[in-house]
Amino acid sequence: MRFWQRPIPWLRAEVYYAGAAWHEEALGRPHAAMFSASAAASTAALAGARETEAVNLARSAGFAESTGDTRQAQPLLQRSQQIFSQLPLNRNTEDYRTFAECEYSLGSSDAGLAGRLESAGRNSSNPFVKVTSLRTLAVLDERQDHWQRAETRLRQAILALLPVDSSTPLADRLRWQMEVSATTASW
């Protein structure tokens, strides 16, 4: 109950619904994830969080696209793009835009989205943008049977989070190695 009594309850609801979308996705329920992301977008709009609304709309569109429901995905994606077109161009809004494109790309069959993500993964100084872009590109590579390139991108994503050097604990390096190995072993 205390969660809802904090300041800005609409943003608390957005966090709740966005988290539900992540959980539904992990459970393999894209329709439920789509509705949760849509609810997150609606509550973000009520709070005036335009960037967050646009990202959640793109996530919802990606989930709709992944189920083959292009008719439902298109208006969501168009609304997301419309919001981004009204926002000022700066590093912050570009980071949100890239994240939204990554989310949509995972559900889309549009191969043209990879070019912009490639640039973001290479040029961004924000580790979250870099990692999200590289992970998305790895998934897209996997879908095209480019296993080696996908593994390389996953390794680059791990390195972007925390440089692996002599100061990195051995346990972290071994865990990361195991995660990459487990991911690539399924290929």
Q: Is residue 14 part of a domain?
A: yes
**Shared domain check, 75 and 137:** no
Q: Is residue 19 part of a domain?
A: yes
- State mean pLDDT over 16-28: 90
Tell me the average pLDDT of the chain. Answer: 82
Please report the pLDDT score of residue 97 as a whole number: 85
Query: For the whole model, what pTM was predicted?
Result: 0.72
Residue 95 forms part of a structural domain? no
> Each residue of 67-99: pLDDT tens digit?
989 899 889 989 998 998 899 888 778 888 888
Q: Are residues 75 and 147 in the same domain?
A: no
User: Is residue 122 in a domain?
Assistant: yes
Written as one string, the DSSP assignment of the chain is -HHHHSS-HHHHHHHHHHHHHHHHHHTT-HHHHHHHHHHHHHHHHHHT-HHHHHHHHHHHHHHHHHTT-HHHHHHHHHHHHHHHHHS--SHHHHHHHHHHHHHHHHH---GGGHHHHHHHHHH---HHHHHHHHHHHHHHHHHTT-HHHHHHHHHHHHHHHS--STTS-HHHHHHHHHHHHHHHHT-
Domain that holds residue 49: 7-88
Q: What is residue 43's predicted lDDT score, i.e. its pLDDT?
A: 93
- Is 79 a domain residue? yes
Number of domains comprising the chain: 2
- Which of 88, 118, 153 is at the close of a domain? 88
As a whole number, mean pLDDT of residues 123-134 equals: 82
